[in-house]
Structure 1
Amino acid sequence: MESKRQRQVAEMIKRNFSIVLQQEGSYIYGAQPLVTVTEVHPTPDLSQCKIYVSIWNTDDKQAVLMQMNQDHQRLKAALAYRVRRHIRRIPDISFFIDETLDEMTRVETMFDRLYEDKQMPDSEEEG
C-alpha cells in the first residue's frame, strides 16, 4: 500500500518526466519512437523510482530503452530541474518497458480472430 506522499510524488514525477521526454526524447532516441510514461512507482523512502514507459512506432523497443539508460544522467538532470522546488532529494530513476498495451492489443486481435472463425458467439445472438 502506497502512502499519500508516495502517490503525490509518483504523480508529480509522471507528469514532469512526460514533459522531459517530449523535450529531450528526440535528441536521445530519435523522432520516430513514441514514448509515454504509464506508471511511476517510488520506494517508501522516496529514494528510488521505477518509471514504466510504453514505446510505440518502433520495432526495437529494447534499443530505445538502452538509449534512455545511456542518457540516464541527462534525463535525471532535466527531471531534477523541473521538480527541484517540490522534492528535497531527487530519487534515482530506472526505466522499464510497460507491455500492458501490447498485451491488450494482442488479446483483442485473438478475440477478433475467434469471432471471425465463428468460434465465439456474438453478443447480439445471445439476447
Structure 2
Amino acid sequence: MQETKRQKQIGQLVQEELSTIFQRMGFNVLEGGMISIAAVKMTPDLLEAKVYLSMFQIKDKDGMLERINERMGEIKKELGRQVGKQLRRVPELTFFLDDTLDYVFKMEEVFKKIKEDDSKIKGDSDTKNDTK
C-alpha cells in the first residue's frame, strides 16, 4: 500500500526533528562514525513511526542501536516538545538499521573486482596476440 500525502508529510517532519534531536544528544557523530536518519515511514493512523538509521563507519551497529533504544524515553519526550503543536499524539518510535549504505559499498567493491578481473583478462589476451 502506498503512503498517503499526510503520511509522507508527517514522516518528513519527524525525520527533520529527530535529526535535530540526534545532533543535540550527540548521536550524529560517535566513535569516529556518523549516524543519520535515512527515512521515516508512518503507519496510516500516524501513531507509529519506523525510523531507519544509517550508520557510517560504526563498528558495533547493533550495540549503537541498543544505546539509542535505551534513551528512547528522552528522544520521544524531546520529539513531543518539537511536534506537539502539529500532532495530536507523538508516534511510537521503532528504530531499524538501514543497510543501504553497506549495500552500496559492497556493490562498489564487486564492480571494482569485476573491472580488475576484466582488465587482467584483456591484458592476458593482448599478450597472447602479440606472441603470434
* Counterpart position of 1:116: 116
Q: Is the 8 A contact 2:56 2:101 kept in 1?
A: no
* Counterpart position of 2:35: 35
CA distance in 1 between partners of 2:120 and 2:23 (Å): 42
* Counterpart position of 2:10: 9
CA distance in 2 between partners of 1:49 and 1:30 (Å): 24
Displacement, 1:37?
0.3
Displacement, 1:57?
2.4
Paired residue type of 1:17: L
RMSD: 2.1
**Percent pairwise identity:** 30
* Counterpart position of 1:104: 104
Paired residue type of 1:104: V
Runs of 4 or more above 4 Å deviation: none
CA distance in 2 between partners of 1:112 and 1:30 (Å): 29
Q: Is the 8 A contact 1:52 1:97 kept in 2?
A: yes
Distance 1:31 1:74, change over 3 A: farther
State the structure with more CA Rg.
2
Displacement, 1:74?
0.7
Give the number of equivalent residue pairs. 120
Query: What residue ranges of structure 2 are gaps of 5+ in the alignment?
Result: 122-132
Q: Deviations over 1:16-40 (max 9, x none)?
A: 10111011134xx955431100110
Please, what TM-score do these two structures have when normalized by structure 2? Answer: 0.83
Q: Deviations over 1:32-57 (max 9, x none)?
A: 43110011011100111000000112
1:23 aligns with 2:24: yes
Q: Is the 8 A contact 2:34 2:55 kept in 1?
A: yes
Distance 1:58 1:79, change over 3 A: same
Distance 1:71 1:108, change over 3 A: same
CA distance in 2 between partners of 1:16 and 1:62 (Å): 23
Distance 1:87 1:25, change over 3 A: same
Q: Is the 8 A contact 1:114 1:120 kept in 2?
A: no
* Counterpart position of 2:85: 85
Q: Is the 8 A contact 1:52 1:95 kept in 2?
A: yes
